[in-house]
Structure 1
Amino acid sequence: MSIVEIINHDEVIYKILDKPPPEPPKTPRYESQLEKQLKELKIPKLRKTFGYAETPLKPPKNFLKQGDGVGHPIKKSDHKCYVSGKLPPVPKHNASVKKAEKHKINFRVLNIKKAIKEKPKTPEPRLVDTRDGHVKKIKGSGEIPEYCLRKDFGQMPAYLVKRNKRIQKELDKIKYAEEHKESLCKLISEQERQELLNDLKCNWQLLQKAFLQLPMLTDTIPKILRKTKMEQELRQLEKDIALIESNPYIYIYE
């Protein structure tokens, strides 16, 4: 490995990167000539300030008098009243207005008659259960039977009666449907029975022919399984044939 030592060099780090291009000059902003003329012709107005340094007080003579305050605005209307000859004359200011006569009622007599007709109030039964004279009402205290003397005591509530009626109606519907439903069992005719028996015998013959065509030597597992399966099917067909031949009446479920 060798080391190179540079002693004299003229490289400047600021000249390595190029300087960015200068930005283009901006176009002058548009200024309206009419605006300048208006500014020259504008009359200077008085400048507004924050107010007086000290608020000047009003003289004592300028106090707020009655009727000088800010009142409610009066609503003006365009309504015009046209007087006709049918209207009654306007009463004078001093004319006395006749008041309607009120019928005098003698409340004393009315109260006496009412008191005579009223029935005396029955005293409420009470009970004194202490020596100090503690009084309590018998009604609602549990001392006398009240609930058992009610008219609806021992009767079934109305909501339970409605519920039982609804349940009973549903049970009646189910019972009626069970009694009048058609039987699922169906007796097959003799012709259908004979056709079924012939089909079973035909299937047995075909299966017996396939069984006899099997090889005599069953040395593999597939051969053994196939033979046993065909034997089971033959036995089942023989049972079905014997069952149909021995029973003349056969019912089926749909």
Structure 2
Amino acid sequence: MSEVVHPPESVYNLIPKEEVDKQKPPRYTSKFRPTVVLEQKLSKDAMRTMGPAKVEVPSPDKYLKKHSKEAKLLEQTQCSKGVRNICTVKKPAVPARTDNPPMGIHTKRDFIKTTTVVPMKPQPTCVDTNKGTKQRLENSGLVPKYIKKKDYGEVPEYLLERYEEEQRAQEQYDNFVKEQKEQGAMKHLSDEERRAVLEGLKKNWDKLHHEYQGLSLVTDIPSKKAHKEWLEVAMKQLENDINLFERFKTIYVPN
């Protein structure tokens, strides 16, 4: 049911009402808060120091001695030259004058005399530059070592194959050109035929020239002008053909 609202001047308003305290909801707290607080506390405690960090103090017995950090040589043995007094191994006594020398023992000097060692020959080199840069003479290209090969001076197989392919291609091209020439062979005109053609050209030129001479002097309409120009072009072409037949005695005509 809806709450009843009384007007301000109502009798019900004279009765004092009890004030009801409204309770606020609990404040929100994150579930990760304890973890964050612990991490922050650990990071702060790590830096919480007074003065330098506490380290182990070296004992007075372990002080830094002189030449202790220098590189040391190999330790000397008991029989070394530096400690002759400590050596316990004694050398054999010097032989007496009357003792016979031992026989059958080869010394180092005798071994050198008996063995013949061949001295090592220096490798032949080639100097490339004026600064002394050198390399082996065998790799420099100055030694003719390729002439010792079995196939030296012979044409390689791939060059022979390429030459044969070129020959076949040239033969096919020559056959094709020959066929084209046979299909469109030229016909040689004899002297009689050339003279007949020349006379026919001259007759045609005379005919066109006679017609050209018969034109009127005034070309006032386009048809007269076009006819005159056509006659001039035709006569010029006939003159060129007549000149060609008169200059050359040998003439070929396509079939």
Could you state the TM-score of these two structures normalised by the residue count of structure 1? 0.31
- Greater relative CO (CA pairs within 8 A, separation 6+): 1
Could you state the TM-score of these two structures normalised by the residue count of structure 2? 0.31
